[in-house]
Amino acid sequence: MTPTLVRQHLAHAGETPRAEAGARARDWSEIQERMLVPLYEAVYERLDVGHGTRLLGLGCGSGLALLMAASRGAAVTGVDAGRPERLALARERLLPEAWGTRARGDTRLVDGTPQDAADAETPAYTLVTAFEPIGCLAGDSEGLGELLQAATPLAERGAPVVLAGWGPPERCTTSSVLRVATKLADPLRSTGSWRPALRDDLEEVAQRAGLKPDGSGRVACPFGYADLDSAVKGLLSTGLFDAAISATDQAQVDKEVAEALHPYQRRDRTVWMPNVFRYLIARVP
């Protein structure tokens, strides 16, 4: 996912870009990230993640997937570049020495690339995950391919590599809301604008990275929010609307996203959108 773009509305809102990025990161960790918990659970169950697993998480963000793996006994390393605000939240979750308690010695978080996590004293990883779903931003698969090429030399031969992506648009209710991003960002016509997920997105990335597909699955990940305001904040925290905000302004994006969400708001004011996500398991040759 691309780094947060400078917003045209910041001067009016009285926020600095850093404060805005921090708020978006907090919205992601508190509202949106949990929507993918069923995906994490399905993968960890299928691959029997636990004691003995040495996991490298690419684009680990604020660290919920790593925390879930660590709770199963896995030794986890997370890498993320260009999103220090999310990584700071991951440190709060996974490295609680900041609170005066002891952190697990087999947990590492790295602000950078997989090469920055390379350590001659660290055993090869037995699992690599890239849980940030691709298939909605133009060009997102290229960035993932580069990460995989850097990460797979750090893994054992035959180790599983898990890629995640959005399911078919007709199975993802959120697609109708994400189309707002395309409409508003259309003048840019560049990398970073939303586009529908394609059936073979994950397989093509794995093939380019020299990985061997070895199974896949689909997981229901409904997006549920307490109210319309939470839904707007959660969706904007994904970064899928960054190009739209840059092309127009924050107020317009907020308004049009809220309008697109109205059909999914229930009588109790909650918002509910069923979605399906895909995952692909590939193997390091």
**Pair type for strands 160-166 and 276-283:** antiparallel
Max CA pair span of the chain: 57
Q: What are phi and psi of 129, to 5 degrees?
A: -125, 140
- Tell me how far apart the alpha carbons of residues 267 and 285 are, in angstroms, rounded to a whole number: 52
Read off the pLDDT of residues 89-141 as tens digits, 9 standing for 90 and up.
999 999 866 444 444 568 999 999 999 988 878 899 999 999 999 876 666 77
Give Cβ neighbours of residue 192 (< 8 Å, ≥ 6 apart). Answer: 2, 137, 138, 139, 185, 242, 243
Give Cβ neighbours of residue 255 (< 8 Å, ≥ 6 apart). Answer: none
Please name which of 198, 194, 185, 156 lies closest in space to residue 247, comparing C-alpha atoms.
185
Question: ∠ at Cα 39 (183, 98), nearest 5°?
Answer: 95
Two tokens, residue 125: 């990883």
- Tell me how far apart the alpha carbons of residues 102 and 66 are, in angstroms, rounded to a whole number: 17
Q: Indicate if the alpha-carbon torsion angle 257, 258, 262, 265 is positive or negative.
A: positive
Domain ranges of the chain: 10-172+195-224+275-283
Specify the CATH architecture of the domain 10-172+195-224+275-283: 3-Layer(aba) Sandwich (3.40)
Question: ∠ at Cα 151 (149, 155), nearest 5°?
Answer: 120
Q: What is residue 264's predicted lDDT score, i.e. its pLDDT?
A: 97
Read off the pLDDT of residues 128-167 as tens digits, 9 standing for 90 and up.
999 999 876 666 778 888 899 999 999 999 999 999 999 9
Q: What is residue 186's predicted lDDT score, i.e. its pLDDT?
A: 65
Q: What is residue 102's predicted lDDT score, i.e. its pLDDT?
A: 45
